[in-house]
């Protein structure tokens, strides 16, 4: 196992490599962490993609407050509904889930039947004219900037 650790504010951030069972390994390392949630990001294929796992774990750490009884450690993906409710855009538009398994769908399903919650299914989305302009690819212009030609 390869490990890289650093203290960031009041958090201990650990990146593990060569681990076959990350949740079990995190359980074994839990004694190295202070009390509170431990969130394990998803396994990624190489160090270059470690940022994706770290973002999921950090988002999960924020969302873990919404599930005080969560196991310690907990997988970031087990916190999908909480991550959506805390505003994690990576879980709202996650390309690896579909309309039935995304965090928003899971959160809506968990709240179904509760007196303090409501869910609206939109059959059509619409963007403003300004939003449409903002998402259009910018025109590429190659040449000398005007300020340099004078």
The domain limits of the chain are 2-114
Q: Each residue of 52-98: pLDDT tens digit?
A: 888 889 888 888 888 888 899 999 988 887 887 777 766 655 666 66
Query: Could you report how far apart the first and last alpha carbons of the chain are, in Å?
Result: 60
CA-CA distance, 137 to 100, in Å (whole number)? 30
Query: pTM for the full model?
Result: 0.62
Please report the pLDDT score of residue 74 as a whole number: 93
Please report the pLDDT score of residue 25 as a whole number: 92
What is the overall mean pLDDT for the chain? 78
* Of 9, 65, 18, nearest in space to 39 by CA: 65
């Amino acid at each position: 196992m390869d490990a890289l650790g650093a203290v960031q504010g009041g958090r201990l951030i650990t990146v593990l490599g060569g681990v076959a069972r990350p949740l079990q390994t995190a359980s074994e390392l839990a004694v190295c962490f202070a009390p509170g949630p431990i969130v394990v990001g998803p396994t990624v294929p190489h160090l270059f993609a470690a940022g994706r796992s770290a973002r999921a774990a950090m988002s999960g750490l924020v969302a873990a407050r919404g599930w005080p009884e969560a196991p310690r450690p907990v997988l970031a993906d087990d916190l999908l509904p909480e991550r959506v409710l805390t505003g994690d855009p990576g879980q709202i538009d996650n390309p690896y889930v579909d309309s039935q398994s995304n965090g928003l769908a899971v959160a809506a399903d968990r709240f179904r039947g509760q007196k303090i919650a409501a869910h609206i299914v939109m059959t059509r989305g619409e963007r403003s004219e300004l939003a449409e302009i903002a998402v259009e690819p910018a025109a590429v212009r190659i040449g000398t900037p005007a300020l340099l030609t004078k």
